Amino acid sequence: MRSRKLVGKDRMDECVPVIRLSSGKEIAVTKELIALLNRYARSEYSLEKLAEDLGLEDWGEAYEFVKKTPAWLMWIQPTYFEKVVLKKLCSIST
């Protein structure tokens, strides 16, 4: 997982971790993505549905995404990710 800086007109520099796929697509790791990964890991959630929810081409791209995603991201609580992990990741990458 890598981080990149985004600069928006209404915000200061913001660190956004991303997962890059071989197709060049970048998926931002956000609180919402963590919640989606929690549902995927804990229920009968197909790769087709995951691809649809992430805006990916097909289940093969979703499979690549799952393989590149650190396993602990699928089990961590979204609020803990946002309040603790994201701050640590961004402080390391600056």
89 inside domain? no
Residue with the two structure tokens 């393989």:
67
Residues 78/34, Cβ–Cβ less than 8 Å: yes
Band (88; pLDDT cuts 50, 70, 90)? confident
Q: Give me the percent of the chain exceeding a pLDDT of 70.
A: 84
- Chain-centroid distance of CA 2 in Å reads 10
SS3 64: helix
90 inside domain? no
Q: Give me the percent of the chain exceeding a pLDDT of 90.
A: 68
Band (16; pLDDT cuts 50, 70, 90)? confident
24 inside domain? yes
Q: What is the pLDDT of residues 57-76, one digit of tens each?
A: 999 999 999 999 999 999 99
Q: What are phi and psi of 25, to 5 degrees?
A: -70, 145
Residue 20 predicted with pLDDT over 80: yes
31 inside domain? yes
Torsion of CA 18, 20, 21, 25, to 10 degrees: 80
92 inside domain? no
User: What is the domain extent for residue 47?
Assistant: 2-82
Say how many domains are in the chain. Answer: 1
17 inside domain? yes
78 inside domain? yes
pLDDT of residue 9: 35
